[in-house]
Amino acid sequence: MDELKGTMGTGRKVNGHVRHGSIERFTTTVTQTITADYCCIAAATIVTSPSSGRDDSVITNGFLSKPEKLLSNGLSNGSLHKHEVVLPDIIASSGDASLVASESRLQEEDEMSHEGSMTPTEPVDLAPAEDIADEEFEDCALYVDIITIIGYIYLHIFGYLRDFLRKLKIERSLTPQEKNNKGFVPLYNDWENFYKRNVYVRARDVVDKPICSVPGPVISVMERSTPNYGWTFKFTGHKVQCINMASYNYLGFAQPSGVCADASINTLERLGVSNVSARNDVGSQPIHVELEDLVARFVGTEAALTFGMGFATNSANIPALVDKRCAILSDAFNHASIVTGARLSGATVKVFKHNDMKDLEAKLKEMILTGHPRTRRPFKKILIIVEGIYSMEGSICKLPEIIALKKKYKAYLYLDEAHSIGALGPHGRGVVDYFGLDARDVDIMMGTFTKSFGSSGGYIAGSRALINHLRHSSGAMVYSAAMPPPIAQQIITSMKVIMGEDGTDEGARRIKQLADNTRYLRTELRRLGFIVYGSKDSPVVPLLTFNFGRGIAFARLLMQRGVAIVVVGFPVTPVRLCRARLCVSAFHTREMLETVVREIDYLGDLCRLKYSRKHGPYSKKKTKVPRLKAECDKE
C-alpha cells in the first residue's frame, strides 16, 4: 500500500506501469463502490493492483505519444523541464517559478496553444442523426443511489464528529473567526457553513483553479499545493498544461491574436478602455449602436439592447417587464440570474418541471383560472421563462411546443440563450435557428456574449417597442456603466465572422466543427457506457457521476492526466445527481478529443462510472450505440 501511495504521489512516471492494469475485481459491486468512495473522499489514493502487462503496449504507443506530440508543439526541448508532480506528457514550464511569465515564454505558449488549435481536423461524415436518441436522461441503478446516499451520510457523520472535536478544541479549527463584534448575533447560522466546512473544503482543490493563459483549447493551470487539506492554498509556481474541457469557448473566439484581438486593440486605442458612465447619461458611443444593430440582425428581431454583464441582463430586465400583478412561469433548472430577476420583480413565480410541456400547460391553465393567489384578481401578464440550452443538463428547450402553448394561452415568452447563441443551429443563431422558427414568435430574446463570442456582457432583442421601453426602464441601462468599447468590438468582429460578413467561410467552418466535435464526444462517451445527459446536439456534455466523492476523484485524476473539466455537486445539482461537465469547443482537434475520451474511458473503469444500462460494457441488452461512420471506416 505504501508503495502504491508513493506511485500516486510522484505521478505518472512510475504510475505509467501501474495504471492501465486491470483493477482488482472485488466480489460484490457494493463493497467495491464503498471502497472506491472511501478512497476518493479521504484522499486520492485508489487501490489498484499491478497490471498483468496486458495493456502496456497501448500505453506506450497510443497513450503517451499522441498528447506529447500534441501539446509540445512549438516548445523547444531545451526549455522543456519536466518536474516530478506533473505527468511527462504535460508540459511543465517550470523553468522559472515566478507567476508572471517572461515575454518569450508567453509567446512560446501562445504559439503552442495555436499550433494545437489553429488546425482543426477536417469535418467527418456523420452517421444519420436518427441513430442517437434525441434526448436522454437515463436513470442509474438503485444501488448507485444507495451508494450516493451512503456517501453523503458518511460525509455528514464525519462532519458532525469533526465539528464536535473542534468544539472540544481537540482538532484545530481553521475556519476564520470573527475578531471584533463580541456579543453580536452570529453572522452565520452554524449549519449554514456546515456543508462548506466539512464537504466543500475536501473538494476545494478541484474548483477555483486559477489559469494563466487564454481559455483556449489548451490552458495552463497554476499548480497549487495545500498544506492543510484544502483550507489554504499556496502556489508552487509551476504551470500545468491541460486540454480545456471546462471553458464556454464554444466557437473558439477567445484568442490572443487574430482578427478579433486586433480589432479590439484598435478600438481600445480609439475609444478607450472603459466609459465610466451609464448609457442613458453620456456613456453611449457609436460602437454600441453598431453592436445593437448587428445583434438585432443576427438574432432576427427588430432591435436589440446590450448590457455590460450577462447576469445583470436578466436580473435588471425581468423586473422592468413584469410587476407584482403579473406571473412568471419558470423552468425548474433556470439560471440563478433569472431567479434573482424574478424575485426582484415581485411577480408570482411558479416553477414547472424541467422541459415538461404537460406540466407547463397545466400550470398555465391553473394560473389563468385562479388568478393571483392573494388578491384573487386575474394576472395582468404571464411570462414564461426558459433557457435555450440548460447549462447543467445539456438539454435543449422544446421551443416549438412552448411557442404553441404560449400562443394558445396568450402568455409571453422570455428565452435565455446564454449557452445556445452561436453554439446551436446551422447558422449559429441559437435555438430558434436550430428548430427553424421565426424569432418574432419569441417576445424577448436574451443572450450573453461570454460564451460563443469570447467576450463579456449580454443582450436583449425583440420588437422595437420592447427595446424602447427597456431603454428607459431597465436598471442596467440607467445606472450601470456601459459596455466597454474593446469588449463590444470583440463581439462585433466575432459575430461578423459567424455571419460570414468578413468574406471568409471561417464562421461556417467553426459551427460545423463544433457540431462534429459535439457528436463525436457524445457518441463516444455513450458507447463507452457513461450516462450522458441532454440532447445530442448540445455542446454542454454532462457526464453523470452520481456519487459526489467519485466525481471529485474523477476530476482530480483527470487533471493529473492533462484534462481540465468541471465537477458540480449538491448545492448546484440535486443531491443524487452529481456530475462532471465537459464543454466542447470548435477548436478541439480530433486528437485532443480522442485523448480526452481515452483518459475518461480509463478513469471510468477506475472510478466505476460506467453506470449505463442501455449501452456500454454493463448494458443488459447489449445494444450498441452507433459509431460515427468515419470511425467505422477506420476499422
Partner 1 sequence: MPRFSKTIFLPFVVFPILIATHGFQSKNPNASWVEHILGTSWMHFLLEISLTLYIIYVSIHKMKRNSPNPLKESLEQLTEKEKENLIKEWTPEPLVPASFVQDIEMNEAHRPKVVCESKIAKYVSCNGRQYLNMSSYNFLNFVGNAQLEETAKRTIRKYGVGSCGPRGFYGTVDVHLELEEKIAKFMQCEEAILYSYGTATISSAIPAYSKRGDLIFVDDGVNFSIQQGLVVSRSNLKYFRHNDVKHLESLLEALRLQDQIALSRPRRHFLEKDDVDHPSKRRVFLVVEGLYANYGDLCPLPQLVALKKKYKFRIFLDETFSIGVIGRTGRGVTEHFDVARDDIDLYTGSLENALGSTGGFCCGSTFVIDHQRLSGLGYCFSASLPPLLAAAASTALDLVQERPELFDQLRANSEYMHKELSRLPGLSLHGLPGSPLKHLRLAVPSESRQQDADLLNRVVNHVYTNGSTLFITAKYAPAETLLPQPSIRVAVNAELTQSEMTSAVQEIASAAKEVLL
Instruction: Specify the residue, 127 or 367, whose C-beta has the smaller distance to partner 1.
Output: 367
Instruction: Specify the residue, 246 or 628, whose C-beta has the smaller distance to partner 1.
Output: 246
- Determine, following the binding rule CB under 8 A, whether residue 301 of this chain makes contact with partner 1: no
All 3 cell numbers of residue 126?
A: 456523420
- Determine, following the binding rule CB under 8 A, whether residue 116 of this chain makes contact with partner 1: no
Assign 407 to helix, strand or coil: helix
- Report in angstroms the alpha-carbon separations of 593 from 244, 322, 424, 596: 10, 45, 20, 5
- Determine, following the binding rule CB under 8 A, whether residue 231 of this chain makes contact with partner 1: no
**Interface segment toward partner 1; rule CB under 8 A; list 44-52, 192-200, 294-302, 393-401:** 192-200
Number of Cβ within 10 Å of residue 329's Cβ equals: 26
Out of 5, 13, 410, 629, the only residue in the binding site for partner 1 (CB under 8 A) is 410
Instruction: Specify the residue, 45 or 284, whose C-beta has the smaller distance to partner 1.
Output: 284
- Determine, following the binding rule CB under 8 A, whether residue 181 of this chain makes contact with partner 1: yes
Q: How far is the CB of 309 from partner 1 (least distance, A)?
A: 4
CB 222 within 8 A of CB 209: yes
Is the C-alpha dihedral spanning 521, 525, 527, 528 positive or negative?
A: positive
Out of 26, 38, 409, 435, the only residue in the binding site for partner 1 (CB under 8 A) is 409
Identify the CA nearest to 534 among candidates 370, 396, 357, 354.
Answer: 396
What DSSP letter does each residue of 43-59 carry, written as one string? -S--------STTHHII
Instruction: Specify the residue, 157 or 276, whose C-beta has the smaller distance to partner 1.
Output: 276
Instruction: Specify the residue, 140 or 383, whose C-beta has the smaller distance to partner 1.
Output: 383
- Determine, following the binding rule CB under 8 A, whether residue 619 of this chain makes contact with partner 1: no
- Determine, following the binding rule CB under 8 A, whether residue 395 of this chain makes contact with partner 1: no
Site for partner 1 in 151-170 (CB under 8 A): none
CA 304, CA 298: separation in Å to the nearest integer? 10
Instruction: Specify the residue, 110 or 631, whose C-beta has the smaller distance to partner 1.
Output: 110
- Determine, following the binding rule CB under 8 A, whether residue 211 of this chain makes contact with partner 1: yes
Residue bearing cell 515566478: 98
Instruction: Specify the residue, 381 or 614, whose C-beta has the smaller distance to partner 1.
Output: 381
Site for partner 1 in 43-102 (CB under 8 A): 99-100
Q: How far is the CB of 459 from partner 1 (least distance, A)?
A: 14
Out of 70, 309, 423, 431, the only residue in the binding site for partner 1 (CB under 8 A) is 309
Which residues are CB-contacts of 373 (< 8 A; sequence separation ≥ 6)?
348
Identify the CA nearest to 607 among candidates 564, 562, 549.
Answer: 549
Q: How far is the CB of 223 from partner 1 (least distance, A)?
A: 12
**Interface segment toward partner 1; rule CB under 8 A; list 122-130, 145-153, 333-341, 509-517:** 333-341
Q: How far is the CB of 493 from partner 1 (least distance, A)?
A: 10
- Determine, following the binding rule CB under 8 A, whether residue 221 of this chain makes contact with partner 1: yes
CA 74, CA 364: separation in Å to the nearest integer? 59
Site for partner 1 in 552-581 (CB under 8 A): 564, 566, 571
- Determine, following the binding rule CB under 8 A, whether residue 454 of this chain makes contact with partner 1: yes
- Report in angstroms the alpha-carbon separations of 133 from 40, 266, 433, 522, 613: 32, 47, 21, 11, 15
Residue bearing cell 486605442: 269
> Which helix (DSSP H) or strand (DSSP E) does residue 605 occupy?
helix 590-606
Is the C-alpha dihedral spanning 503, 504, 507, 508 positive or negative?
A: positive
Out of 10, 57, 79, 468, the only residue in the binding site for partner 1 (CB under 8 A) is 468
CA 187, CA 174: separation in Å to the nearest integer? 17
Instruction: Specify the residue, 6 or 373, whose C-beta has the smaller distance to partner 1.
Output: 373
How many residues of this chain interact with partner 1, rule: CB under 8 A? 129
Q: How far is the CB of 287 from partner 1 (least distance, A)?
A: 10
Is the C-alpha dihedral spanning 179, 183, 185, 190 positive or negative?
A: positive
> Which helix (DSSP H) or strand (DSSP E) does residue 526 occupy?
helix 506-527
Out of 178, 293, 438, 505, the only residue in the binding site for partner 1 (CB under 8 A) is 178
Identify the CA nearest to 529 among candidates 621, 460, 447, 443.
Answer: 621
Instruction: Specify the residue, 403 or 566, whose C-beta has the smaller distance to partner 1.
Output: 566
All 3 cell numbers of residue 478?
A: 440607467
- Report in angstroms the alpha-carbon separations of 352 from 52, 331, 355, 573: 53, 5, 8, 17
CA 190, CA 197: separation in Å to the nearest integer? 10
- Determine, following the binding rule CB under 8 A, whether residue 311 of this chain makes contact with partner 1: yes
Binding mask 238-277 for partner 1 (x = CB under 8 A): ------x-xxxx---xxxxx--xx--xx--xxxxxxxxxx
Out of 357, 456, 591, 626, the only residue in the binding site for partner 1 (CB under 8 A) is 456
Residue 218, beta-bridge partner list: 243
- Determine, following the binding rule CB under 8 A, whether residue 362 of this chain makes contact with partner 1: no
Q: How far is the CB of 293 from partner 1 (least distance, A)?
A: 13
Assign 324 to helix, strand or coil: coil
- Determine, following the binding rule CB under 8 A, whether residue 412 of this chain makes contact with partner 1: yes
Instruction: Specify the residue, 158 or 409, whose C-beta has the smaller distance to partner 1.
Output: 409
Instruction: Specify the residue, 414 or 520, whose C-beta has the smaller distance to partner 1.
Output: 414
Q: Give the chain's radius of gyration (CA, Å).
A: 26
Out of 360, 466, 558, 603, the only residue in the binding site for partner 1 (CB under 8 A) is 466
Site for partner 1 in 96-115 (CB under 8 A): 99-100, 106, 110
Site for partner 1 in 338-357 (CB under 8 A): 340, 343-344, 346
**Widest Cα–Cα separation across the chain:** 77
Q: How far is the CB of 246 from partner 1 (least distance, A)?
A: 4
Helix 12-19 vs helix 2-10: crossing angle, to nearest 10: 120
Instruction: Specify the residue, 260 or 625, whose C-beta has the smaller distance to partner 1.
Output: 260
Out of 7, 490, 518, 573, the only residue in the binding site for partner 1 (CB under 8 A) is 490
Instruction: Specify the residue, 64 or 212, whose C-beta has the smaller distance to partner 1.
Output: 212
Helices (H), 528-589: 548-560
Number of Cβ within 10 Å of residue 343's Cβ equals: 14
Q: How far is the CB of 564 from partner 1 (least distance, A)?
A: 6
